[in-house]
Chains A and B, each alone.
Chain A
Amino acid sequence: MIRLRGQSKSDIQRRASWLIEDDQLHLWRIGLDEPADVVDGLYKLLNEEEQERVAGFLVDQQASRFTVCRATVRQILSSYLGCDPQKIEFEKGEFGKPHLRAKWRKQPLKFNITHSADLGVLAITKNCEVGVDVERIRTIRGLPRMVERCLVRTEQDDVMNSDVNHRGREFLRFWTHKEAYLKTYGVGIRQPMDKVTIDLAAPPSQRVVNHSDVFPDETKAYISEVWPGDDYVGAVSVAGTTEFAIETFSWVGGREHA
Chain B
Amino acid sequence: MTDVQPSNSDSAESSSPKSAEDIQQWIVNFVSEEISVSPDSVDISAPFENFSIDSAAAIGMTGDLEQWLDKRIDPTAVYDYPTIEEFAEYLAAQK
Contact = CB atoms under 8 A, between A and B. Distances in A.
Contacts of B36: 59
A7 interface: no
A53 B46 CA distance: 11
B10 interface: no
Interface stretch (B15-23, B58-66, B87-95): B58-66
Interface in B7-42: 35-37, 41-42
Interface residues of chain B: helix, strand, loop or mixed (majority): helix
Contact of B56 (A66, A140, A192): A140
Interface stretch (A36-44, A73-81, A144-152, A247-255): A144-152
Contacts, number: 58
Contacts of A175: 56
Given A149-B75, A189-B75, A58 B50 contact: yes
B63 to A, nearest CB: 5
B60 A140 contact: yes
A190 B50 contact: no
A62 interface: yes
A172 B49 CA distance: 21
A58 B51 contact: yes
Interface residues of chain A: helix, strand, loop or mixed (majority): helix
A172 B42 CA distance: 28
B60 A146 contact: yes
Interface in B61-80: 63-64, 67, 75-76, 79
B47 A142 contact: no
Contact of B49 (A53, A142, A146, A150): A53
A145 B67 CA distance: 10
A33 to B, nearest CB: 14
Contact of A59 (B35, B59, B76): B35
A56 B55 contact: no
B64 A192 contact: no
A57 B79 CA distance: 18
Contacts of B54: 116, 135
A141 interface: yes
A188 interface: yes
Contacts of B46: 56, 58
A11 B63 CA distance: 42
B50 A149 contact: no
A58 B42 contact: yes
10 contacts: A58-B46, A62-B52, A135-B56, A141-B57, A146-B60, A150-B59, A175-B56, A189-B75, A190-B79, A192-B75
The 5 closest A-B pairs by CB, nearest first: A62-B52, A56-B50, A145-B63, A141-B60, A189-B55
Given A62-B52, A135-B56, A189-B59, 8 more contacts: A56-B49, A57-B52, A58-B46, A66-B52, A135-B54, A146-B63, A189-B55, A190-B79
